[in-house]
Amino acid sequence: MKLETKEQGIQPLIKAPEKKDQIILIVDDSAMNRALLADMIGPGYKVVEAENGLEGIAAMQKLGSNISVVLLDINMPEMDGFDVLAVMNSKNWINDIPVIMVTAETSPSYIERAYDLGVVDFINRPFDAKVVQRRVNNTIMLFAKQKALVGLVADQVYEREKANSLMISILSHIVEFRNGESGLHVLHVSTMTEILLNQVAKKTDRYKLTTSDISRIAMASSLHDIGKISIPDAVLNKPGRLTEDEFELMKTHTSVGAAMLADVPVKQDDPLVRTAYEICRWHHERYDGGGYPDGLKGDDIPISAQAVSLADVYDALTSKRVYKDAYTHEQAMEMILNGECGTFNPFLLECFVEIADDIHEQLTLNSLGAEADMEIAHMVDEAMTPGEAEASSRTLELLDYERMKYQFFASMSNELQYEYTEDPPMVVLSDWAEKKLGVPEVIKDPFEDRTLAELFGEDNIQRLRAALHDTTPEEPVVQLEFEATIDDEPRWLQVTAHANWSSDEVPRYLGSIGKMVDIHEHHEKMADLQRRATHDSLTGLLNHAYARKLVQERMKLNPEKSFVFIVVDMDKFKDVNDTYGHLFGDRVLFHMAQRLEGSVRGNDIVARVGGDEFFICMECSVDPDPLIVRVYETVIGEYDGIDVSVSMGVATAHGDECAYDDLFRSADHALYEVKNADRGGFKFADKILSEDEALSALSQIDGEKEEDIAAAHASRS
Amino acid sequence: MSLGACYAQIGGDLEGVRSRLMTDERIEKFIGIFAEDPSFGNLRTALDEGDLKEAFRAAHTMKGISRDMGFTSLSDIAAELADVLRPDEEGVPAGPLERVPSLFEQLEEAYTRTVDAFSMI
């Protein structure tokens, strides 16, 4: 394979930007000022105008770093120039979008403050065409160069990183090939070390591990066995047990590896070299001091070497070797935790146990066996192919791409997306919100805003705010449903929002992002289903099951109160159905339900038991007789040409006196006694009947009524 | 009437404007836009309504645009008025506010004179 170095000339990478690609944003409240500036900048550029700070922010939100330069006035309504700069700082735009301040102010305090906020240049009044052109052109050129340079540096760092890890990977594989090891051992140790240390860093700051420390340790872990280069083949690959001498020789791979690194001619103080040294030398030390070569004890052994040591043991156990078969993940775990494979830092073992599943999964994923060599070959090929790795201005392009993607999806989806910051207090809404709801894209002080309050309801906004403040950095997501007013119609919305917390020791609430979805239809359907589950569809009264539940709750809550149960049954309803048809029958039932509801107080319970049988429950502390008479007299009478007559059974008891079912059964029984005595009128139950008593009482009822009763019971069950 | 005659009539700085705006064509174009600019009207309304913050902004804009066009005396009066109205950090105008009516009167006089002079072009 021929190695080619990629040529990277400076001149083609930095070229003067094309005018037509340049967007210039002019933020000024005076139309004449904007016109003058636009005229002076000259044709060719694309000029976007904003009348005040808010519009300016909205334009930046939309166009991002596609804006080449912003010309910003100071004195403006809504949001002034300094506020705009503050927002640009808080959103980190100020580094990507250069700002030239346009001002008649010459006081040093103004100018100093503007520079502090990241302004790159000034255009003073009165405007001078040559100055305006020069300042704008210079700024655009300067930033274009800067962007190109950032891209260049990023590319080189990227290339360098890639080359680094490739070299390490090749180097460590040389050891493995000689070793006859799995070929994936190095990869496994590196992966597991990284997972393990991430867990350690998550649980404690005792070892002061940063993300870059961990990735450096993981990278250096690949070199842990380089000392084995010096071990003779006969010892290294001996299938049987090593003799004492051979083992002593084997042990030297630690100090030899370390010595090799200590002899590296350059970069002795490079963190990677130092980390690799620690790992090589001490990855066979034991936490109790019983390891080699130096017999270090406890945390005298660097955490890097401790983690690699554990990873090394685990992977050796779960891999096949010349002298042993592979153990399963569970067996290996058990052996390590039982101390069969050396003593480890108990805290490290604790971390290991917590993320064992993750490790198992990751290492299984990486176990490609023979394909590993191919993978290396592939990596080499890829790294050597020019073009592909062209990461030019990668980050910047990716950012712009992400912005575009985000905006596209946000405008496609029928949902309102928002972003809120506490400082400055400002909410930015997605396109959709602007189009569908007619609210501006950027709203300052949203909690004071009338439009938002009218749209979403002040209470709802405050409720969402409180819920977000109540979240934690670990669980930052809240979901709420509320009723908004859209186009003067009430609509149910569901909002899902994510609170932003600072990473300080005591996290600060920074703001939130979220989306709102219109769930009105869904909500209506749910409400309807719920209603159907608790109500009778024909009459709109409660159904018996739900009424029973409500009454039971009331009886339990008010044990000392007296409850009156009334069971109402229409007389000869079967004849009505037979004579006039079921449709008419249904109308009679509906009418009956209306009358029953009208005959009782608002909080009494009225339900349809089934068929033509109804149930009323009232709480009553006085003599219930007048109430019952009123019910009876309201219900009977003429309806649409037919005479409605009813029979009613009544039973009363205190809330704690007997069970619902017994009381209901007793009222029901009294009803059938009325029916039995030629129908019409009402009767109190003589006593509260138990289930058995009711059954035997039933059998005593006259034979001629039996059919009627059985039919009524059937309709109820 | 020529551009030079107009500027002479109102004591404006034509040479300065020419050096900054480069062409007479552009100067005439923006004199037209100046005549349409709502700042003066905004200033009057704001003062009538007692909205001193808005009045400051309008006076400030007047100062800027008239200076751009080389209307020196108009710009000077607008600057003086803006300084009187300029709010401090608490939003309180610098004052003295007794000067506002007479300054506005002068400003109106200069503004009318300027707009009238250029309506001939």
Q: What is the pLDDT of residues A409-441, one digit of tens each?
A: 766 667 788 888 887 788 888 777 777 777 887
Highest mean pLDDT among A319-328, A632-641, B77-86: B77-86
- Most A CBs within 10 Å: which of B65, B69, B75, B115, as the mutation test of the A interface? B65
Q: Least CB-CB distance to B30: which of A29, A36, A130?
A: A36
Average confidence (pLDDT) over B82-97: 85
Nearest to A536 by CA among A609, A588, A476: A609
Choice between A126 and A179, residue whose per-residue pLDDT is larger:
A126
Question: Confidence class of residue A697 from pLDDT cuts 50, 70 and 90?
Answer: low
Choice between A451 and A701, residue whose per-residue pLDDT is larger:
A451
Domains of chain A: 19-152 (3.40.50.2300), 185-367 (1.10.3210.10), 413-526 (3.30.450.20), 535-716 (3.30.70.270)
How far CA A671 is from CA of A275, A370, A637, A714, B71, in Å, comes to 91, 86, 19, 16, 103
User: pLDDT for A324-363, tens place per residue?
Assistant: 788 889 999 999 999 888 899 999 999 999 998 888 887 7
Angle at A340 between CA A339 and CA A341, to 5 degrees: 90
Whole-number Å distance between alpha carbons of B86 and B96: 11
pLDDT of residue A696: 67
Average confidence (pLDDT) over A132-148: 83
Q: Phi, psi at residue A330, to the nearest 5°?
A: -65, -45
For the complex shown, is ipTM > 0.95? no
- Taking a C-beta distance cutoff of 8 angstroms, is the pair A82, A106 a contact? no
Pairing of strands A562-570, A542-543: unpaired
Which 45-84 residues of chain B touch chain A by CB within 8 A? 54, 56-57, 60-61, 63-65, 67-68, 70
CB contact under 8 A, B57 and A35: no
Burial class (CB in 10 A: 0-12, 13-18, 19+), A365: exposed
Rounded mean pLDDT of chain A? 81
> Is residue A465 scored above 60 in pLDDT?
yes
pLDDT of residue A49: 92
Choice between A366 and A95, residue whose per-residue pLDDT is larger:
A95
User: pLDDT for A699-715, tens place per residue?
Assistant: 555 444 444 544 544 44
Q: Least CB-CB distance to B33: which of A32, A76, A130?
A: A32
Average confidence (pLDDT) over A606-630: 87
Whole-number Å distance between alpha carbons of A316 and A325: 10
Lowest mean pLDDT among A284-298, A362-376, A427-441: A362-376
Q: Which residues pair with A49 in a beta bridge?
A: A26
Highest mean pLDDT among A62-66, A68-72, A414-418, A655-659: A68-72
pLDDT of residue A403: 67
pLDDT of residue A352: 93
Whole-number Å distance between alpha carbons of A493 and A495: 6
Place of tokens 């949203």: A446
HEC letters along chain B:
CCHHHHHHHHCCCHHHHHHHHCCHHHHHHHHHHHHHCCHHHHHHHHHHHCCHHHHHHHHHHHHHHHHHCCCHHHHHHHHHHHHHHCECCCCCECCCHHHHHHHHHHHHHHHHHHHHHHHCC
pLDDT of residue A368: 45
Burial class (CB in 10 A: 0-12, 13-18, 19+), A507: middle
For the beta carbon of residue A544, count every other beta carbon within 10 angstroms. 18
> Is residue A389 scored above 60 in pLDDT?
no
Domain carrying residue B32: 3-119
CA distance A9 to chain B (A): 41
CB contact under 8 A, A77 and B19: no
Which DSSP symbol is given to A299? G
> Is residue A450 scored above 80 in pLDDT?
yes
Which DSSP symbol is given to A638? E
When divided into structural domains, chain B yields a total of 1
Nearest chain B residue to A36, by CA: B30
pTM here is: 0.48
pLDDT of residue A11: 43
B13–A contact, CB cutoff 8 A: no
User: What token pair was written down for B7?
Assistant: 């500027």
Whole-number Å distance between alpha carbons of A592 and A606: 11
CB contact under 8 A, A35 and B70: no
Q: Is the dihedral of CA A378, A384, A387, A392 positive or negative?
A: positive
CB contact under 8 A, A32 and B34: yes
Highest mean pLDDT among A219-223, A368-372, A684-688, B39-43: B39-43
Q: Least CB-CB distance to A126: which of B20, B26, B56?
A: B20
Average confidence (pLDDT) over A447-466: 87
Q: Which CATH number is B37's domain given?
A: 1.20.120.160
Q: Could you give the percent of chain A with pLDDT greater than 70?
A: 85
